[in-house]
Amino acid sequence: MATAFETHGAFSWTELITNDVPAARKFYGALLGWKFKEMEGSTMAYGVISAGEQDIGGIMATPPEAKGMPPAWGTYVTVKNVDEVAGKVAGLGGKLIVPPTDIPKVGRFAVVQDPQGATLSLITYLPRP
């Protein structure tokens, strides 16, 4: 059976970008019982969120290029080919916010904005061993 990491159109990951990672970890850890671990091999500080034994999302500090952005949750949807899907956005009235970009050891992602202004991250994961 295919997982959300393999199914085109499936919500597969969620991520918090915040200006206070320690405070967010404390809040969500106490509220929901989440555990946090650092992602190995990442080029930036990135915490993986776990519910029980399942990795369900990530948490990271607001990157310099997004300075001033309020803390926000973002969602990733799996697609078979992120470059192909991102290429359709403008023709459908949307906007490409972040062009297709590699995430080492994870896959390739893009951030799109729909015609109403909502944003969504698309991702094509590397094959899992």
- Domain annotation covers residue 4: no
The whole model's pTM is what?
0.86
Per-residue burial over 50-77, b = 16 or more CB atoms within 10 Å of its CB, e = otherwise: eeeeeeebbbbbbeeeeeeeeeeeeebb
- Domain annotation covers residue 1: no
- Domain annotation covers residue 3: no
Give the tens place of pLDDT for each residue, 57-107: 999 999 888 889 999 999 999 999 999 999 999 999 999 999 999 998 899
- Domain annotation covers residue 6: no
- Domain annotation covers residue 88: yes
Number of domains in the chain: 1
Give the tens place of pLDDT for each residue, 16-71: 999 999 999 999 999 999 999 998 766 678 999 999 999 999 999 998 888 899 99
Structural domain of 91? 11-125
Instruction: Kindly report the CATH number assigned to the domain that includes residue 22.
Output: 3.10.180.10
